[in-house]
Structure 1
């Protein structure tokens, strides 16, 4: 992360700062107040008063502050990092730009939303798989025994391409199905 500007770091850290539970209203108000007092050219009194509106949720106020600071330039972003280091040291050291490992820069450049996506197929794929599972379960519990005679053969042939423990388990289940019917 050396050579990277504070604006770029803040852009990468902004998602974390908005959703971290340690960023409560009291800490955000303290940061706004400090920014206003230490450098009024970065955050004027009117802007600070607007950002301290308690009717607006903390994550939205933080997003507005981050957008404002990125628009003000490099020094404003540096001031925010300095204040985070002073007032919320644990949060400062857990920022994505502070915890990135040098060998894993591809993973560090992704936001947490992108990092933990298991698939990109969307909700329709999930609902279709869930519906298939529910349909299979309902069919299993509410059908007559004639349907399961063919299921034994399918289970036996399915087991051919699987590992040894899985094959023995499926064959045992197919055999049990044949004895129960």
Structure 2
């Protein structure tokens, strides 16, 4: 079991738990995850599960410098390779006047966020942080709600993307099928 107070870390080894060697390159990829998946399947697709206003959780709020519970734009999607879900992604973006992502974020529909983030050289990616998730974590429960029962724990990563002080936080939960790519 993962300790209840386990935190996001910049190192992959966490309290004696390490990801499978085949998963490490996926977790450590600093480029476009969409491009990496596309290169390994015949058909890539994004399934938008929901996009709405929602209160931000305390972990995400701390990353973006917001008070916990602040309403943000939230988007959850599945990344599918040959119709098999391989990644559950959860993105939060602050409500801010003239936010650099606002209009493009809302127009994504079934397209990947990576198509926006990695096409603009002015957008910088922050450090990658990792965490093994179990059923106690909200992201794990969100993935399970979309997909049904999952293994006892799943690896996730997150990073902030932004231009200056304005940014968004992308969380990616790697599903077991990603190892078949």
Question: TM > 0.5 between the two?
Answer: no
Q: Which structure has more RCO (C-alpha within 8 Å, separation ≥ 6)?
A: 2
Larger Rg: 1
Whichever structure has more strand as a proportion of its residues is 2
TM-score by length of 2: 0.29
TM-score by length of 1: 0.29
